[in-house]
Amino acid sequence: MAKKNPGDVLSGDWNPVIGCERYSAGCRACWYLDGIFPWQQRLGNIPAGVRPDESHAFPKRLSEDALYPKNGIVGVVQHGDLFWEKVPEATIDTVLSIVDAVAARKRRTPKYLLWTKRARRMAEVLTRRYPAGLPGHLAVAVSVENQATADERLPELARVKGTRVVVLEPLLGPVDLSAHLPLEWIIVGSETGKRARPLDLAWAREIRDQAIGHGIPFFIKQLGTSHKDQLRELDGRTWDEFPKGFVK
C-alpha cells in the first residue's frame, strides 16, 4: 500500500476515471499503461472491452461514498490523467465537485492531489473553476522529465494559485527550476523497470540544492532502477519532506 511505502508521497488513491496515452519522453515505460492496466484487467477490475488509451468512468467509484473513507494524501485519478483531452469536461467537473463535497464533510480534511502532464488544460480548468485560488484541500502537481518539459509545463502551473507541486519523475536530465520558483513542493524520482534510463545523481543534487536554497520541501521517491529494491539515499540521507499540513 502507498501509505506503507516510504518512497510514495501518497496515502492512497481514488480512480473513478482511468485512461491515458503516451505524451512525452517520460511516458516510454509508463507504469500504468504497461503494468497497472493489464493487471487490473486480468483481475476483472476493468471491463474486458475497455482499452488503456480510452477514457473510462466507473459509476460506482464516481461518488462521495467511494471517496469518503480515504484519508491522508489522496491521489486523484492516478490511473490516468484527469486533464487528458479525451476526458470530458463534465467528468472533470463531477470529479472536482465530489472532492469538494467530501472535503466539506470531513472533520480532518485530507489533501487531494491532482497530478498531470497536461498542464495547459489543467490550468484552464482550475483557474476557471477556482478564480480566487485552489481551496485548501486541493493541491496540483505537474510531472516533468527534463528542461524542455519543465519550461513548457511549469509556466502553466504558475497560473494556478494554491499549493503547486513539481514531480520530476522520471528525471531524464538536468533541470534548472530557478525560472519557475516559488513552488510549494519538489519531488524527484527515477525511472524503474527492465528498460529504465538511469538517473545521474548530479541532477538530483542540483535540484535538491535549489529546493534547500529556496526553503522548499524536497522529497526523493527513488534514485535507482528497481522499484522493489528502492535506492532513496542521496549523500548519506533520505529526503522525506512534506509541505505544512500534508500528513501521510
Percent of the chain with pLDDT over 90: 94
In a domain, 3, yes or no: no
In eight-state DSSP terms, residue 137 is T
Distances (CA, A) of 225 to 39, 191, 233: 21, 6, 14
Distances (CA, A) of 130 to 109, 167, 182: 18, 22, 20
Task: Provide the domain limits for residue 81.
Answer: 8-20+28-222
C-alpha cell at 169: 519523475
C-alpha cell at 224: 535507482
Q: Tell me which residue of 160, 10, 27 sits closest to 72, measured CA to CA.
A: 10
Residues 122 and 83 sit within 8 Å (Cβ to Cβ)? yes
What is the signed CA dihedral for 242, 35, 144, 94, rounded to 10 degrees? -70
In a domain, 238, yes or no: no
In a domain, 231, yes or no: no
Return d(Cα 160, Cα 147) in angstroms, integer.
21
3-state SS class at 225: coil
The residues, any chain, with a CB within 8 Å of residue 159's CB and separated by 6 or more, are 123, 127
Is the pLDDT assigned to residue 223 strictly greater than 90? yes
In a domain, 37, yes or no: yes
Q: What is the pLDDT of residues 47-105, one digit of tens each?
A: 999 999 999 999 999 999 999 999 999 999 999 999 999 999 999 999 999 999 999 99
- pLDDT-derived band at 160, boundaries 50, 70, 90: very high
Q: Tell me which residue of 64, 29, 40 sits closest to 192, measured CA to CA.
A: 29
Is the pLDDT assigned to residue 1 strictly greater than 70? no
Q: What is the pLDDT of residues 197-222, one digit of tens each?
A: 999 999 999 999 999 999 999 999 99
In a domain, 240, yes or no: no
Question: What is the pLDDT at residue 15?
Answer: 98
Question: What is the pLDDT at residue 247?
Answer: 97
Helix count (H) and strand count (E) of the chain?
A: 7, 9
Q: Tell me which residue of 145, 155, 21, 161 sits closest to 83, measured CA to CA.
A: 21
In a domain, 112, yes or no: yes
Hey, which bits of the chain come out as E strands?
12-14, 17-18, 56-57, 73-76, 111-116, 138-144, 163-168, 185-189, 218-222
Sign of CA dihedral 131, 186, 121, 31: negative
In a domain, 246, yes or no: no
In a domain, 199, yes or no: yes
Is the pLDDT assigned to residue 227 strictly greater than 90? no
Which pTM was predicted?
0.96
Question: What is the pLDDT at residue 202?
Answer: 98
- pLDDT-derived band at 139, boundaries 50, 70, 90: very high
Total count of domains within the chain: 1
The mean pLDDT value of the chain amounts to 96
